[in-house]
């Protein structure tokens, strides 16, 4: 079955154009699934039944995997078996009749504007690290980028004079994202005063660099933002996605239309962006309860 998995991973990379992170997640999920099938002696696609897949999902549940993670696994399994059927490796898709585990729609966490200011102030120094961290945080909040997009931005993708980024997002889709004046200033200062010291030979195309002069990794930025949040005395559990959520929430609260926010976030489907309308409604409800005399 691993041979079929290799063919499938090639298919979703070339034919479907799925992003690297998505392909890696599918590879992990399906590798686990095929190990389960091997335990059951199922070595050919035609031998797999809906009961096998249901039993695998039960095992994931018993191991404590969250509903959202189990739903993602089932999505990968469905696409895998659909591929096998299209390529004539089997006659049907045993996963088609299974329903995804129900997930609770958890509202995304975000920062209040005052908390964003405190986070920025936590890297107000003049060291190269402070200049880089402030530029990264301001750019993330100003554009709503995914962390994978932020750490892979190259110098050529940034136009500070006009004020926009050319971002390569999920599925290798390109989009233009505007940059506000504050973030432009911070990125420009980082480039002029700090970046050249990290890469004096100009060998690295990436905008944001580690202390060794290499591209910043996702994990390193995750650690960076938590370090700065601690210095800012922000009690919330903060991640790079928190600033992306804050970007979208604050735009909608200040009158931006949903379609524009969708484009800037790089969401393929408007339904993915609509979660932020729930955030703003819940926020208004909470404010009413706290402030109104009869709230």
Contact (CB, 8 A) for 153 and 167: yes
Tokens of 258: 């949903």
47: enclosing H helix or E strand: none
Q: How far apart are CA 253 and CA 268, in angstroms?
A: 22
Name residues whose C-beta falls within 8 Å of residue 203's C-beta, 6 or more positions apart in sequence. 213
Which residue has 């506000």 as its token pair? 180
Q: How far apart are CA 107 and CA 42, in angstroms?
A: 40
The phi and psi torsions of 143 (rounded to 5 degrees) equal -120, -20
Active site residues: 146, 170, 241, 244, 267, 276
Kindly give the residue spans of alpha helices, DSSP state H, lying in 40-180: 50-62, 67-86, 113-121, 128-143, 147-152
Q: How far apart are CA 168 and CA 171, in angstroms?
A: 8
174: enclosing H helix or E strand: strand 174-178
């Amino acid at each position: 079955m691993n041979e079929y998995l290799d063919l499938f991973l090639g298919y979703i990379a070339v034919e479907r154009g799925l992003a690297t992170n998505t392909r890696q997640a599918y590879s992990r999920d399906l590798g686990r699934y095929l190990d389960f099938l091997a335990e059951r002696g199922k070595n050919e696609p035609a031998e797999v039944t809906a009961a096998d897949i249901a039993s695998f999902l039960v095992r994931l549940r018993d191991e404590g995997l969250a509903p959202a993670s189990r739903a993602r696994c089932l999505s990968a399994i469905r696409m895998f078996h659909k591929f096998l059927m299209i390529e004539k490796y089997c006659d049907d898709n045993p996963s088609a009749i299974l329903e995804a585990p129900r997930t609770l729609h958890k509202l995304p966490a975000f920062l209040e504007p005052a908390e964003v200011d405190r986070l920025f102030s936590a890297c107000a120094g003049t060291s190269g690290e402070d200049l880089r961290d402030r530029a990264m945080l301001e750019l993330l909040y100003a554009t709503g980028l995914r962390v994978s997009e932020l750490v892979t931005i190259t110098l050529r993708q940034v136009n500070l004079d006009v004020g926009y980024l050319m971002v390569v997002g999920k599925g290798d889709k390109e989009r233009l994202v505007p940059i506000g004046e504050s973030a432009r200033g911070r990125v420009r200062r980082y480039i002029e005063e700090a970046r050249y010291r990290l890469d004096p030979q100009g060998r690295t195309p990436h905008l944001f660099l580690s202390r060794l002069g290499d591209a910043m990794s996702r994990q390193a930025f995750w650690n960076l933002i938590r370090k700065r949040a601690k210095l800012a005395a922000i009690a919330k559990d903060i991640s790079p996605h928190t600033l992306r959520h804050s970007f979208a929430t604050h735009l909608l609260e200040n009158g931006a239309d949903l379609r524009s926010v969708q484009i800037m976030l790089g969401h393929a489907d408007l339904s993915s962006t609509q979660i932020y309308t729930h955030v703003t409604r819940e926020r208004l409800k909470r404010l009413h309860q706290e402030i109104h005399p009869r709230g």
